């Protein structure tokens, strides 16, 4: 049974309705006593009964369907977070995920990465394309800036770049983890259809990827420890944690911290060497 709080739902709907400009939607501004759209205008835009919509605002409409809530969300021009809130109030659950391709990061988010001076960190999409990184990541993990944008994909690097493969202490374990976490991220983001061509391409390029993909394993990225062979510094241990970027469910941040003081000194020296060379 849906968990519906009619009072909060009605208040939210009324609040969103009164914030809209009728002229924007071609409605007359004559004889209006209150700001925003009228109930019947929202109902018209959502293609629902005006009486039923009025009852919904008054807490008498019962639990609406997901389809109706989607239409109301579009009628009220709700943002993604407002749409999610509407579903939580109306049905007691968030809406099904709608995948949106990432469009890069804001300067503020890049500043967050840059503030992590000794912690390699990057931002990735649900399809595991790296869209932002800091100097530490370029020095320790991969210099993504030297790669074409369409090559900055973690799976493509793990399975198709011999240099990246050679850096993994236990390549097969890392590869299995990456494939399983990628599958989970894609499903969570509702992007299965969007990555079909990419998956087919990787299956053709790497029989190992094809075999691991057929296993249908899923894991959470979460946190753990990564051991890698750096071509200059040798063995490095890094503890990693993954985070969803608040307000940007299409993006995830992965932060690596040196596992020991000795690893921290190695990271520091690699960053210093890169800064001197640039």
Query: In terms of pLDDT, which residue wins out, 7 or 220?
Result: 220
- Four-CA torsion 56, 58, 59, 62, nearest 10 degrees: -30
- Let me know whether 142 and 268 are in one domain: yes
Environment class of 130 (CB within 10 Å of its CB; exposed 0-12, middle 13-18, buried 19+): buried
**CATH number, domain containing residue 143:** 3.30.450.180
Q: Is the alpha carbon torsion for 79, 74, 49, 23 positive or negative?
A: positive
- Let me know whether 140 and 76 are in one domain: no
- Let me know whether 62 and 111 are in one domain: no
- The answer to whether 59 and 6 have CB atoms below 8 angstroms apart is yes
33 assigned to some structural domain:
yes
* Mean pLDDT, range 178-183, rounded to an integer: 94
Last residue of a domain, one of 91, 124, 153: 91
200 assigned to some structural domain:
yes
**CATH number, domain containing residue 31:** 1.10.260.40
* Number of structural domains in the chain: 2
- Cα separation, 239 vs 245, in Å, equals 19
Condensed to tens digits (0 to 9), the pLDDT of residues 60-87 reads: 867 788 899 999 999 999 987 888 888 8
Last residue of a domain, one of 60, 91, 122: 91
Two tokens, residue 61: 């409409």
96 assigned to some structural domain:
no
Condensed to tens digits (0 to 9), the pLDDT of residues 243-262 reads: 988 777 778 999 999 999 99
- Let me know whether 120 and 26 are in one domain: no
- Let me know whether 24 and 128 are in one domain: no
- Let me know whether 208 and 253 are in one domain: yes
- Let me know whether 19 and 63 are in one domain: yes
In which domain, by residue range, is 30 found?
A: 6-91
Alpha helices in the chain (DSSP H): 6-18, 39-46, 50-58, 66-75, 80-91, 107-115, 135-140, 154-160, 162-167, 171-189, 196-205, 207-214, 261-277
- Let me know whether 87 and 135 are in one domain: no
- Let me know whether 119 and 237 are in one domain: yes
Last residue of a domain, one of 91, 119, 144: 91
Condensed to tens digits (0 to 9), the pLDDT of residues 84-141 reads: 888 888 888 888 766 666 667 888 999 999 999 999 999 999 889 999 999 999 999 9
Question: pLDDT-derived band of residue 181, with 50, 70 and 90 as boundaries?
Answer: very high
188 assigned to some structural domain:
yes
The predicted pLDDT at position 237 comes to 97
256 assigned to some structural domain:
yes
81 assigned to some structural domain:
yes
37 assigned to some structural domain:
yes
């Amino acid at each position: 049974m849906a968990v519906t709080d009619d009072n909060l739902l009605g208040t939210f709907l009324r609040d969103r309705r009164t914030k809209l400009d009728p002229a924007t939607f071609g409605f007359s501004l004559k004889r209006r006593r209150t700001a925003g759209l009228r109930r019947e205008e929202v109902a018209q835009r959502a293609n629902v009964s005006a009486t039923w919509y009025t009852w919904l605002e008054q807490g008498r409409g019962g639990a609406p369907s997901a389809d109706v809530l989607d239409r109301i969300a579009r009628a009220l021009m709700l943002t993604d977070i407002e749409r999610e809130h509407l579903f939580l109030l109306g049905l007691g659950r968030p809406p099904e995920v709608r995948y949106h391709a990432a469009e890069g990061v804001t300067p503020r988010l890049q500043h967050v990465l840059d503030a992590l001076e000794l912690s390699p960190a990057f931002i990735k999409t649900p399809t595991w394309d790296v869209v932002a990184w800091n100097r530490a990541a370029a020095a320790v993990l991969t210099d993504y800036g030297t790669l074409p944008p369409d090559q900055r994909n973690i799976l493509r690097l793990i399975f198709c770049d011999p240099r990246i493969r050679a850096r993994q202490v236990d390549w097969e374990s890392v590869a299995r983890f990456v494939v399983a976490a990628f599958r989970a991220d894609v499903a969570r983001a509702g992007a299965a259809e969007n990555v079909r061509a990419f998956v087919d391409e990787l299956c053709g390029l790497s029989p190992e990827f094809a075999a691991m993909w057929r296993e249908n394993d899923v894991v959470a990225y979460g946190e753990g420890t990564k051991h890698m062979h750096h071509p200059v510094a040798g063995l490095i241990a890094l503890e990693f944690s993954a985070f969803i970027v608040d307000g940007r469910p299409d993006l995830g941040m992965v932060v690596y911290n040196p596992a020991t003081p000795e690893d921290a000194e190695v990271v520091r020296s690699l960053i210093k060497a890169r800064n001197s060379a640039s």
